Amino acid sequence: MFGKIIRFIFFGNYFVGILAVALTLEATFQLRLPLNSLNYYLLLFLAPTIYYTYAYNKVSTKPSATNPRNQWYFKHKQFINWSQAVLFIICMLLAINLLYRNFQHIMGLPISYWIAILIIITAGGLYYGLLPRSFLKFNLRNTGWLKAFVIGFVWACCANVLPLIMLKIETGVGYHDSVLWTWLFIKNWMFCTVNAIIFDIKDYPTDANKHLRTFVVRYGLRRTIFSILIPLLIIGLVSLGIFASYKGFGLPQVLFNVLPFILTIYVAYSMHRRKNILYYLMVIDGLILFKAICGIIGMQFVH
């Protein structure tokens, strides 16, 4: 029974929705912004859940004897189709309610906000090739090494850009500490990019057969771990220390922000041994949840 619940949460991509909300809450606390509406957080939970489920369902065209997630999708195909329809309807109702309550503020958004929204939607659509081929055939997943950076970019936008847009829509208030915001955006971008590179290790045989030049296909597993992942994380630690000194962060706040980098270095080092799909979904993606929790706790020591 417990195993079925775990597979439902992780294979059904509900954990992805939790990650989106957690990263947003972390950024909200770190930027010292007021919380957004419950309507927005529900929408934020549902949208990536529907998006990732649709995207994975779209590329899973036949059952696989070696892929447990693929097998789960075929076994529960009817449930997935029904749940997708229900969740999509709820998502639309939430979006309509948000639009109805804030229509004037949405129409009055500055042009820079609309550009940001367009960039996020376009990047998300291109990543899985969800846009109609008659409109644009380019698929960011086929760009190899760029794929991880695109994933990190979309998640950083979700955490650091969307809350500011919603703050402007729901309260009319803008955010003006550009130095702190830029640092947090880049930190989230790089952390999620590293997470995506680690996750690519799972798809190494498939990507190699498709000639998709991800980091691990291009450089091999060991070189990816020791020449790319760990150096990137160490650079992140050093830059965190420099920025913390510049901003005058207290020791507890620094320690809680360092912990996710240390744990990610350990996980990256351990990736030379093959893991099953649930390990990637629970542990690798779980690093993002751990980072969000540490960031929120760290802000409790700021006075």
Q: How far apart are CA 247 and CA 266, in angstroms?
A: 28
- Please say whether the beta carbons of 20 and 158 come within 8 A: yes
pLDDT truncated to tens, each residue of the chain (303 aa)? 777 888 889 988 999 999 999 999 999 998 888 899 999 999 999 999 998 898 777 665 666 667 788 888 888 888 899 999 999 999 999 999 999 999 988 888 889 889 988 888 887 776 655 555 544 555 555 555 677 888 889 899 999 999 899 988 988 777 777 788 888 898 899 999 999 888 877 766 566 555 566 777 777 778 888 888 888 899 888 888 888 887 778 888 889 999 999 999 998 888 877 777 888 888 889 999 999 999 999 988 876
For the record, the structure tokens of 11 come out as 């294979």
Angle, helices 146-160/178-200, rounded to nearest 10 degrees: 140
Task: Flag whether the pTM goes above 0.75.
Answer: yes
> What pLDDT sits at residue 100?
92
For the record, the structure tokens of 16 come out as 């992805």
- Please say whether the beta carbons of 168 and 117 come within 8 A: no
